[in-house]
């Protein structure tokens, strides 16, 4: 779809602003957060990194390099601070870190989109894309698939909690405000499970992503927004990240590793390499970059 590159830019900006909140909290006490100027610690060092990184992501400047660095930061944060407390992200408190990590991994392949300083610099510079950049762009279908699988898995966990009272919060999460997705009617939990499984498999991806996005929006409006205007204070950061990812997938599709993709190949009878097929289908994305 022609709107896909612009939706990429919107998604990138939202992710950057959500991430920037964390750095602003640590450096300046944004939205009543705890200031931490001890830059020798992991949390203190994360403050300036999140401010600079979130700003660069929102502006679309040095997007791939910045996303790569922030992906690494989130991976370190998750395995050092959250993973030791439990396996499931919605229990150990590391769900947001995991979501940011894989979103940034995807942005390494997807790039900034048309509404970015990177695009402006490219237009005023050389039009020949380096070989390495062309290769990274060709991986976007795989990056989107990895993101879809991870997000589908974590989203479905909320369904099991909501429908069957499984996966209670562990230490480090018990004192936090309840997650918006866990405050919806119990019946919605069954929908979250079904939607999560379909997205995990990449089957009926677009309708499953659309309905999951609607559920996440409803959760934010119903449970998070009344608490505070700032997502970092109302507990809705993770929910908004789900909305961003599901909306993008609803428009662009599942990516290469999916049952939808296999079915499409069989219907069309194509025999091209998977990467080449993806590049042909997403040619509009590369055209918009010129």
**Which pLDDT score is estimated for 199?**
98
Residue 24 lies in a domain: yes
Q: Which residue has the tokens 């942005």?
A: 107
Residue 121 lies in a domain: no
| Structural domain that includes position 61 | 4-114+126-289
* Tally of structural domains, the chain: 1
**Which pLDDT score is estimated for 290?**
45
Residue 120 lies in a domain: no
Residue 219 lies in a domain: yes
> Whole-prediction pTM value?
0.91
Question: Closest Cα to residue 162, out of 192, 191, 182, 178?
Answer: 182
Residue 254 lies in a domain: yes
Residue 273 lies in a domain: yes
Q: Are 184 and 161 in contact (CB under 8 A)?
A: no
Residue 119 lies in a domain: no
Q: What is the pLDDT along the chain (290 residues), one digit of tens a residue?
A: 678 899 999 999 999 999 999 999 999 999 988 899 988 888 888 999 999 999 999 999 999 999 999 999 999 999 999 999 999 999 999 999 999 999 999 999 999 999 999 999 988 775 545 678 888 988 999 999 999 999 999 999 999 999 999 999 886 666 678 899 999 999 999 999 999 999 999 999 999 999 999 999 999 999 999 999 999 999 999 999 999 999 999 999 999 999 999 998 888 775 444 545 455 545 544 544 44
In terms of Cβ atoms closer than 10 Å to its own Cβ (0-12, 13-18, 19+), residue 15 is buried
Residue 82 lies in a domain: yes
């Amino acid at each position: 779809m022609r709107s896909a590159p612009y939706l990429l830019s919107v998604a990138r900006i939202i992710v950057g602003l959500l991430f920037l909140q964390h750095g602003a909290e640590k450096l300046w006490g944004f939205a009543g957060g705890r200031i931490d100027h001890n830059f020798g610690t992991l949390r203190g060092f994360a403050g300036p990194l999140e401010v600079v990184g979130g700003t660069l992501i929102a502006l679309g400047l040095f997007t791939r390099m910045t996303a790569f660095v922030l992906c690494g930061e989130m991976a370190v944060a998750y395995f050092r601070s959250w993973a030791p407390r439990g396996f499931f992200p919605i229990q150990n408190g590391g769900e947001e870190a995991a979501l940011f990590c894989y979103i940034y991994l995807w942005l390494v392949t997807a790039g900034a989109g048309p509404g970015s300083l990177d695009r402006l610099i490219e237009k005023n510079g050389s039009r020949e894309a380096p070989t390495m950049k062309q290769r990274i762009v060709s991986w976007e279908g795989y990056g989107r698939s990895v993101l879809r699988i991870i997000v589908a898995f974590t989203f479905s966990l909320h369904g099991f909690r909501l429908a069957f009272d499984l996966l209670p919060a562990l230490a480090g999460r018990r004192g936090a405000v309840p997650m918006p997705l866990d405050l919806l009617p119990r019946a919605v939990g069954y929908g979250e499970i079904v939607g999560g499984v379909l997205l995990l498999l990449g089957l009926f991806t677009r309708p499953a992503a659309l309905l999951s996005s609607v559920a996440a929006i409803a959760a934010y409006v119903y449970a998070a927004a009344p608490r505070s205007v700032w997502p970092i204070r109302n507990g809705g950061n993770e929910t908004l990240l789900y909305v961003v990812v599901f909306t993008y997938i609803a428009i662009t599709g599942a990516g290469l590793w999916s049952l939808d993709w296999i079915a499409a190949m069989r219907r069309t009878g194509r025999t091209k390499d998977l990467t080449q097929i993806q590049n042909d289908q997403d040619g509009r994305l590369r055209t918009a970059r010129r």
